Amino acid sequence: MASTLIPFRKWSQRAAGILLSALSFIVFKLLDFLDAILCIFYAFLDELLEGNASQCYCHGRDESSSSNSNGNVAGGEDALSESLYGRKNVFRGIGLLSLGRKWEESRKKEGNLRRNRWSDCGCESCLSWMKENGYLKLHVVVQEPWKDVSWHSREHLIENVVFLHGFLSSSSYWTETVFQNLSEAAKRNYRLFAVDLLGFGKSPKPRECLYTLKDHLEMIEKSIISPYRLKSFHLVAHSMGCVIALAIAAKYPESVKSLTLVAPPYLPSSGGKASLSALRKLAGKKLWPPLLFGAAFMSWYEHLGRTICFIICRNHRMWEWILRLLMWQSDLHFMIVDFTRHTHHSAWHTMHNVLCGGAGLMDEYLDILSKYGVKITVVQGDQDQVVPLECSYNIKQKAPDANVKIIPNTDHTTVINPRTKEFTQDLEGIWISESNHFVRWNGLVSCH
């Protein structure tokens, strides 16, 4: 009896796989069609409401690249990711999307580009960054060390730590977790910087920006490294923030005392197609699990993603009010609030130009860090469904001195929260040990 059940089980699993593949094909072709229709729809609405139809990436590089402010479509930190143009849509080949392009070209007008789309939220909180009179600077939360020692000794003991959050998050990811669980010794000896990355949280979300890796890097330099005159610092980053952290560390290898990467989306470069490979690996077109389907939906479909942002992000105050009412809570969890604090333009370009576009640069970054002896610690949950577990092992292969810690029974988020106290203790141990290594390494370099 048992022997007959085994072939039946294999057959049923194979049949279920075939059925899921067929269903996926149908669903994503339907999404291709809907995105093509919305391309035309938004071209019309943008022209009607703003007097200028917004450019999109549905029409191929040759037609669209002229709208890019920096004009760089080659490799590099200021480059546009190939994944922006390389997303295949079956309806592009039959000319349906060209209708939207013809509408744009026939109705295009000269004029200044608004900083805020009609489909973005216009509440005071979301537009607070515009009050800086044109001076763009990231929102940074600074926690100074306790002032219970003399100024002279403080100058000698204080170390700096810069925290970078992941996609659709903010500085709250760190201020509500690690900042709350530091030991007394750490509170005395470390100055902490938690930043809202460009396009997220309370930081600027300029519409004319393309949110390239270079844009993010320059804003961090402008908002933290230069004004606070950081000569040395530790870096801690989660998910997408790991790509930016690697770029910073590679630019300042002699200043970075330690680099802690939590769930880093690192995939080895595969020639000129690194960004498209990263897109397929991190957001492949799959219906299951639901988390991956959501990633594919928002990463492959520019106009469908804009529609979701219009429904949720533009009306975030209404949704927050409903959630407070349903949950009987006056304050929502910070991750719920952070989820809507972006524009589609900022999230879409950061996803492609940082997460995907950065894939072709990370090997170079790791080579530089290995050369300078920067110690890297990688932490990831063994149940992470957002970033493949192989990403952490890939870093170990590329940088053999990296310390990889796989935390059992945790995923992309729970690897930090709710095990925040344990994670913070581990961080403090890294800072102490790597500071000693940093002093020894710099002494060795100066001798040579």
Q: Is the Cα torsion angle 242, 248, 251, 256 positive or negative in sign? A: negative
Please give the torsion angle defined by the CA atoms of residues 67, 69, 72 and 77, in that order, rounded to the nearest 10 degrees: -130
Residue 349 is a catalytic residue? no
User: Is-contact 169 338, C-beta < 8 A?
Assistant: yes
Residue 59 is a catalytic residue? no
Phi/psi at 163 (nearest 5 deg)? -110, 130
* CB proximity list for 203: less than 8 A, separation 6 or greater: 129, 138, 139, 195, 196, 197, 219
Alpha helices by DSSP H, 51-160: 61-64, 82-85, 96-107, 151-157
Residue 131 burial class via C-beta count within 10 angstroms: exposed 0-12, middle 13-18, buried 19 and up: exposed
| Residue that has been written with the tokens 């950065």 in this structure | 358
Point out the catalytic residue in the list 46, 78, 215, 384: 384
Q: Is the Cα torsion angle 70, 75, 76, 77 positive or negative in sign? A: positive
Residue 412 is a catalytic residue? yes
415-427 core/surface letters (b: 16 or more CB in 10 A; e: else): bbbebeeebbebb
Edge-to-edge strands, sheet with 376-381: 140-143, 190-195, 159-164, 233-238, 256-262, 376-381, 403-407
Residue 165 is a catalytic residue? yes
Point out the catalytic residue in the list 139, 342, 345, 412: 412
Point out the catalytic residue in the list 54, 239, 275, 392: 239
Partners of residue 237 on adjacent β-strands: 164, 261
Residue 98 structure tokens: 């060209």
- Residue spans of beta strands (DSSP E) within 181-305: 190-195, 233-238, 256-262
CA distance 207 to 213: 16
At residue 229, the 3 state secondary structure works out as coil
Point out the catalytic residue in the list 64, 83, 165, 346: 165
Q: Count Cα atoms within 13 angstroms, Cβ side, for 288.
A: 7
Phi/psi at 169 (nearest 5 deg)? -140, -165
- Hey, which residues are catalytic here? 165, 239, 384, 412
